[in-house]
Every structure is written in structure tokens, then in C-alpha cells.
Amino acid sequence: MKPIKVGLLGIGTVGSGTFNVLKRNQEEIARRAGRSIEIAMVADLNTERARELTGGTVEIVNDANLVVNNPEIDIVIELIGGYGIAKDLVLKAIANGKHVVTANKALLAVHGTEIFKAAQEKNVMVAFEAAVAGGIPIIKALREGLTANRIQWIAGIINGTTNFILSEMRDKGLDFDTVLKEAQRLGYAEADPTFDIEGVDAAHKATIMASIAFGIPVQFNKAHVEGITKLEAIDIKYAEQLGYRIKLLGIARRTPMGVELRVHPTLIPAKRLIANVEGAMNAVVVQGDAVGPTLYYGKGAGSEPTASAVIADLVDIARLATADPENRVPHLAFQPDAMSDLPILPIEEVTTSYYLRLNVADRPGVLADITRILADAGISIDAMLQKEPAEGETRADIILLTHQTQEKNILAATARIEALQTVAPGITRLRLEELS
């Protein structure tokens, strides 16, 4: 069969990984795909570096339009990132009848609906395994491996930077700022780490997974997004004492009222497998009604792990390109005319358990007041940790773990608790998921 001709937009970290893996494993890949897959053209503003990286074997251009308009190119790989020029180029490639492979989670989480619609009209595929959890084939598992299931929820460690920081904070008892600096020094965090540490990157990925799991349009603007910048070392320690770890999770859950879509630091039982995912690794738990819980683990970023996903998409497209378009795997797992309009719930409507840390006066009746307010709000207490006041102190920490309740209930109850004169202002509130 004739080789598949690929055009590459952007030859940075993932682009060079894709070029190198395709070259190194070209025989093995061709033995699987039944044909060879060749990068025929590369567009990058830095043409000199692109020429160095490719060793002069490939046509290099600095205008990406030359790639998306080239009739010789079958598939365009978009690795530019962001919403701007990347979007234009993806839409142009689609308009020109080319299949697209992209690792651009931001683009799909925000403009996915428009892009997938354009692709459907032109009968081309847009593949994006690399957009979520790097080399872990989680999109494939959700879209194809678990098709039998009504998916109930997904919970994932889908940002390596923040998981590295949380692992280090726990391991070494250090605070966030110290560890962030170390992470930047080691290359686990970028110079501007905002998208990672504020949870935006994880929310892009959770948005995409929620769409695929439940058949809803991508709606990044409805996601609840909290990062780890305000997380204190003391809470990691108290959580540990109660048998929990704190992870930044991307969570998508189907309820009868709507879909929960949220990213925030979360206490999870230390005995769960996902609680033991350390360092920059990623892992996603998917709960299906037939299969039960399944977990997928691996490197969520990096040159060759992400390239692994990009190339898997190339082979998939090579295979499915000859199938009837309506028999291909739908972009968002469900047929475009069979999407659901289940709304995304505002965070106040979300149901979860809570970890509360209160600093209280060490005197009789304080705990009774607090538990009375929670009881009045219908919130049961699952566990409590009461610390002795430090030497010479008259105040102490109380940690409460609640059973499940709606966020609006806990907000109302904690406001009432904060109004008690015996309780210091600023209750620390973290969400807790049993993941069972």
C-alpha cells in the first residue's frame, strides 16, 4: 500500500519526539499498519533548528499554510498549541480534506464543537489521543474499550506538574512555594506555571473526557477550576493521619440532574491505587456500570510519551480512512446526532464529602456548637481529629470529615460556624472523594 504522507506543524518537544519515534520504529510501525507512515513536510518558524532535528531528509517551511494546502499531504499533525493560529490551521486542513492529529487540549476544550462539526462535514477525522494524559491510551479506552458501559464517573491525575509538587510536599513536608521552585529547577514546571498550578490544564483535559464519557458537547467555560496554590502542608499532614492523600483530580460524574465537571485538590483514601501515583505520572480511574472501576497509568507528558499517542492516532486514521465515515469512531464517542443535553452542574449543586480544618478556642461546648450547626444542615460527620493546643496556646485545630452533601449546604454551614466567636475566621475546606 502507498505510504501515508504526514505534515507536521511545529517541531518542538512533542514534534521532535514524533519525528524521532517514527524514524526509529518505522519498520515496526509499518509491520503493524501495513504501510509506512512518513513525515513529508515540517513547518516551524525556526527552520534552521527544524532542519537540524530532521537531518535534512524532509522539506522544511516556515509557513504552515504550505503544509495544510499541500495536496500531497494526507494527515496534518498540529503541535503549535493555543487557540489562535492553531485553530485557523486545523480548520484550513479540514477544509482541504485532510485528517488532523492534535495534542492541543486547550483548543479542543474550547473550540471542539466547531472543529468536530467542520470535520464531520468534510468526512475527515480529528484525532486527539495526545491531548489527554500523554502516552496513556485513555481516549481510546473511553471511546472504544468501554463502549458497553454507561460510564458513571471519571477521576484523573491528569497534570504531572501538580502531581510532582504534591508528591514532594507530602514526601518532604515542604510548602507549595518551595516545591514549585524546585519543580521549575528540575524542569517539571514551566517558567510561567499558571495553567498547571491553577488547574486550567487539568480542566481542559477533564472537559474532553467528560464529553466522551457522557456524550455532551465540550464546555470548558462551565468547568469548576481550582488549583493547588492555596494548599497548605499542614492539610497534607492531617489528611495523612486520617488515612488520605491529597491529589489534584479532574472529576467528571454523571448524576440524574446533570454532569459534575470539576478540578480541585481532593482527599482520596491512601489505600486506593490512584492515591499511590507519585511524581509526574498520570492516572485516570473510569467507573463503568458493567466493568466496574478500571485504571490507566503512565507518563502524561514529555517528548516521546506524547509522540506515542500522536503516532497511534496516525495509524488509527490510516486504518479507518477506508471505512464508511459513519462507521468510524465518532469524535466524542457518541454519534453527532445522538449527543446528550445533560447540563453541567454549577459547583453549588455538586455532591461530595468534605475535609474541614477549624481553629477553635480550647474550651467546653465549642465542638457541640459546631456539630449542632452541621447536624442542622443535615451534614453527618464521618471522622474527626482533634489536636491538643500547643504548649502555651489556648487554641487548637479540629479536623472534620463529613459524609456527602451538596456544596451549597457546606457553604451555608461553614458560614454559620465561622460566625461563632470561638472559631477563627477562615475555615479550610477541601473536597473528599472515596472513589468507591
Closest CB to a copy of itself among 316 and 407?
316
Q: Which of 23, 34, 279, 389 binds a copy of itself (CB under 8 A)?
A: 34
**Interaction of residue 270 with a copy of itself, rule CB under 8 A:** no
Does residue 429 contact residue 265 with C-beta atoms inside 8 Å? Answer: no
The enclosing H or E element of 86 equals helix 85-95
SS3 249: strand
Q: What is the DSSP string of 158-173?
A: --HHHHHHHHHHHHH-
Closest CB to a copy of itself among 295 and 420?
295
Given its phi and psi angles, is residue 10 left (phi above 0), alpha (psi -120 to 50 degrees) or beta? left
Region near a copy of itself per CB under 8 A, out of 138-146, 200-208, 410-418, 427-435: 138-146
> Cα separation of 276 and 395, whole Å?
34
- Say whether 34 counts as a known binding-site residue: no
> Cα separation of 209 and 252, whole Å?
8
Q: What is the number of H-type helices and E-type strands within the chain? A: 15, 17
Comparing C-alpha atoms, which of 418, 417, 427, 299 is closest to residue 368?
417
**Interaction of residue 243 with a copy of itself, rule CB under 8 A:** no
SS3 246: strand
Active site residues: 205
Site string for a copy of itself, 51-70 (x = CB under 8 A): --------------------
- Say whether 11 counts as a known binding-site residue: yes
Given its phi and psi angles, is residue 380 left (phi above 0), alpha (psi -120 to 50 degrees) or beta? beta
> Cα separation of 304 and 21, whole Å?
7
- Say whether 105 counts as a known binding-site residue: yes
Does residue 66 contact residue 43 with C-beta atoms inside 8 Å? Answer: yes
Q: What is the nearest approach in angstroms of a copy of itself to the Cβ of residue 120?
A: 12
Site string for a copy of itself, 192-221 (x = CB under 8 A): -----------------------x------
Closest CB to a copy of itself among 26 and 386?
26
Q: What is the nearest approach in angstroms of a copy of itself to the Cβ of residue 254?
A: 11
**Interaction of residue 316 with a copy of itself, rule CB under 8 A:** yes
What distance, in Å, lies between the first and last C-alpha atoms of the chain? Answer: 48
Beta bridge partners of 250: 156, 263
**Interaction of residue 31 with a copy of itself, rule CB under 8 A:** yes
**Interaction of residue 264 with a copy of itself, rule CB under 8 A:** no
* Span 139-178, contacts to a copy of itself by CB under 8 A: 140-141, 143-150
Q: Which of 40, 321, 367, 381 binds a copy of itself (CB under 8 A)?
A: 321
Comparing C-alpha atoms, which of 291, 275, 272 is closest to residue 436?
272
- Say whether 9 counts as a known binding-site residue: yes
Orientation angle between helical segments 160-172 and 176-186, nearest 10 degrees: 120
Orientation angle between helical segments 303-320 and 26-33, nearest 10 degrees: 30
- Say whether 168 counts as a known binding-site residue: no
- Say whether 365 counts as a known binding-site residue: no
Q: What is the nearest approach in angstroms of a copy of itself to the Cβ of residue 107?
A: 22
In 274-350, the DSSP E strands lie at 281-288, 292-299
**Interaction of residue 334 with a copy of itself, rule CB under 8 A:** yes
**Interaction of residue 126 with a copy of itself, rule CB under 8 A:** no
Q: How many residues bind a copy of itself (CB under 8 A)?
A: 70
**Interaction of residue 300 with a copy of itself, rule CB under 8 A:** no
Residue in the structure block whose three cell numbers are 454519534: 335
- Say whether 161 counts as a known binding-site residue: no
**Interaction of residue 290 with a copy of itself, rule CB under 8 A:** yes
- Say whether 167 counts as a known binding-site residue: no
Closest CB to a copy of itself among 35 and 408?
35
**Interaction of residue 256 with a copy of itself, rule CB under 8 A:** no
Residues near a copy of itself, by CB under 8 A: 1, 17, 21-22, 24-25, 28-34, 129, 135-137, 140-141, 143-150, 215, 273, 276-277, 283, 288-299, 304-305, 307-312, 315-316, 318-324, 326-330, 333-335, 338
Residue numbers in the known binding site are 9-16, 105, 190
Annotated binding-site residues for L-homoserine read: 190
Tell me the binding residues for NADPH.
Answer: 105
